[in-house]
Structures are given as C-alpha cells and as structure tokens.
Homo-oligomer: A and B are copies of this chain.
Amino acid sequence: MPGFFMSLIVTSQLMQFPGELALTSGAVLGDYRLAYETYGTLNADKSNAVLVCHALNASHHVAGSYAGQPKSEGWWDNMIGPGKSVDTQRFFVIGINNPGSCFGSTGPMDVNPATGEVYGADFPVLTVEDWVNAQALLLDRLGITRLAAVMGGSLGGMQALSWTLQYPERVRHAIVVASAPNLSAENIAFNEVARRAIATDPDFHGGNYYRHGVVPQRGLRIARMIGHITYLSDDVMNAKFGRELREAVDGVVRSDYHYSTQDVEFQIESYLRYQGDKFSSYFDANTYLLITRALDYFDPARTHGGDLTQALAVTRAKFLLVSFSTDWRFAPARSRETVHALLENRRDVSYAEIDAPHGHDAFLLDDPRYMSVVRSYFDGIAKELS
C-alpha cells in the first residue's frame, strides 16, 4: 500500500533556550531556539527515541510532508516513517536543526541578543561537539535520558559518533552512514575553495551582507557546484551526463559545439549551473561557512595524539556503520578506520559496505540493500527494547 507510506503529515516545532550554550571555542550562544520535528510516539519508559542528525544541506525536516505540500518530503523520508526501515510505528524519531543553520534554529540571520544587531559575521563558530550538546539539552527537555539510537549520514554521522563520546551512557546504538572520523586534506581543500568563493564575493561584505540588502550569490553558487562534484562518483557522472551536449530548447540533442567559453555546451554544465542557482537562492552563506568549518574541525582523535582507538575507548554504544563503494568524499576506507578502532576497543560493531554507483549521494538514495541493512539493525533494536 504505497498510499500508506505517503500519509505521514508532520509539523515543525520550536523550542527556546533562554540560557547560554557554552561553546568549544570559549564563546557562548545566548538565548537561542532549536527547530525540531518528531515522528511516532514516545513510549511510557521513554526508551524508544531515535535522534537523527543532519548533514550540510539539510534540516530537522527528516521525514513526512507538511500539510497541503505533498512535495515537501523530509530528506530521509525513504528511510524513516511508518513501516519503513526506521519504523515510526515503533520508534519515536526526532529531527533537530543545528544552531547556525538557516532552516529554523538560531543562525547568523538572527538578532544577537547581546548587541541587538543581526549576527552576520559575529555568529560564533560551532563544532560538532557543540551541536551534540545542544541536541542533548533538547532531549533533556523532552525527558529523554537515553536514546535507543542516534543516526546520521556524512556530517550527521560525525554527530552520531560524537554522541557516543560525549554522552556514552545516553546512547544505546549509533548508526553512522557514509562518514569519516575526520576530514582528509583533500576534503578540507574543497571546503576551503568553497569558503574562499563565498568570502571573496564582493557581496559578502565580511559576512555582514544582510545589512547591505544583498547576498553573496555568486560565491554560494560556486561553492555548491564544487560540493556537487564531490557528492557524485565519476562513474555516475559519466553514466548520467557523459559528454552529452545540452539539449536544444525543442528537445533535439545537438551534435555540434557552439565554440563558446560562456555558453552551456554539455549536460553536466547545465546540471551544475542549475544546482548552483537553486542552492544559492535559499541557502545562507554564513551558514555554509559555519557548517564547512565544523566539518573541518571534527577530529575526536586529535586530543588523543591522533590515536582513534584511544579516542573511542569511552564509547559504550553498539554501532552500525555503512559506507558506499564509489563514495570518494568519505570513502569506505574512512569508515573502516572507525570500525577498526571500535573493534580494537571490543565494541559491538556491524559494518556494511554497499556496492553502489552513486558516490556520496548514495546515503540519501533508495538502495534496497542499504535500506534492508538499516531495517534489520532497527529490528534488532526493537527486540532489545521489548
């Protein structure tokens, strides 16, 4: 009954935190709000909560659709919902938007209560650890002491891993998908190019563009185009676009070049420009800078002399890690580093390496093997709880 799967209607909620969130940097975030959504029902002993952490371009809107907006499915709606791999008829699933985001939680476009001015460039730099602390405070308010599971893909997987380090007693299971224990030099390099594209856009105004009534759209466009290349595999790009020329307006595939450096010649160019334009029309540039920086900084082994095994010794959770064969942003080898470090600590780890052609994007796509691995794992969690 596919109609059944479509029926989850959800609403966004906001929770205000009047206190100050102490940040890793030494700064504080004062009087902030978090946007979140919940799906399913918290059981009597509050043991069935699953927290979902989001990646760069995502939000607390993880599953379901908003009333009257059938195309507003959450970003992991193929994974989470009634009867799905993470079954909201059994689990109480929470999606949280991280502070610094532009999708509902307090971010750089908000007014800094300390100055009465829009934050802009003054928004404090946040780390993965800070986000996890903010998420923990929201769980406190919901009365949830211990999570059945925390899960996330990519940057969301880093948050899930960090939960098991910061709050080892509050996490039964961590599901870490298409992630890494830190960024490689190449990962940082791509982030840096994206940040420079934004920061050198004349409309950036040092991050205070709001008060000039502009946004650094050119820079954001470039940032997103770079990002998109790293989300896809070379294979899937060749399969999807190859060297195809852009279709003419009438749908006829051209066979000859324009001989122009400015016109779109190839389908891949058209695709990237479209993605860049779309993204730059809704995403906030300061948020992009903040989130890529949080990615750069994440490195739990850093305070242990680079020894990941030592860093993961505090974990108490059980783990499922999933990686995808053609993901070159967070390659399977990066997930295996975490798996090995956990095994050296004799932790309970399941690991699936899915042979999928879609690169990093695979973690958002509907691969049946991937979905069934997660389903089986959550079946196991449900059995533990019952």
Contact = CB atoms under 8 A, between A and B. Distances in A.
Contacts of A296: 265-266
B185 A243 contact: yes
Given A125-B259, A192-B269, A199-B261, 13 more contacts: A24-B259, A124-B259, A185-B238, A185-B240, A188-B243, A189-B225, A195-B261, A199-B262, A202-B202, A259-B297, A260-B293, A261-B286, A261-B293
A252 B288 CA distance: 31
A183 B269 CA distance: 13
Given A125-B259, A221-B196, A259-B125, A272 B189 contact: yes
Contacts of A261: 125, 195, 199, 207, 286, 289-290, 292-293
A125 B260 contact: yes
Nearest to A127: B259
Contacts of A268: 185, 188-189, 192
Contacts of A302: 243
A257 B207 CA distance: 20
Contact of A185 (B195, B222, B241, B290): B241
**Majority-rule SS of A interface residues:** helix
Interface of A: 24-27, 124-125, 127, 182-186, 188-190, 192-193, 195-197, 199-202, 207, 218, 221-222, 225-226, 228-229, 232, 234, 237-238, 240-243, 257, 259-262, 265-266, 268-269, 272-273, 276, 286, 289-290, 292-293, 296-297, 299, 302
A190 B189 CA distance: 14
A218 B234 contact: no
A297 B260 CA distance: 10
Given A229-B189, A293-B261, A184 B234 contact: yes
Contacts of A259: 24-27, 124-125, 127, 297
9 contacts: A25-B257, A185-B234, A188-B266, A189-B272, A196-B225, A200-B221, A243-B299, A243-B302, A265-B296
4 nearest A-B pairs in the assembled complex, by CB-CB distance: A25-B259, A261-B289, A185-B237, A200-B218
Q: Which of A27, A182, A200, A261 has the most CB of B within 10 A?
A: A261
A237 B189 contact: yes
Contacts of A207: 261-262
B196 A273 contact: yes
Contacts of A237: 184-186, 189
A139 B193 CA distance: 42
B196 A276 contact: yes
Contacts of A290: 261
A260 B24 CA distance: 12
A183 to B, nearest CB: 7
A87 to B, nearest CB: 38
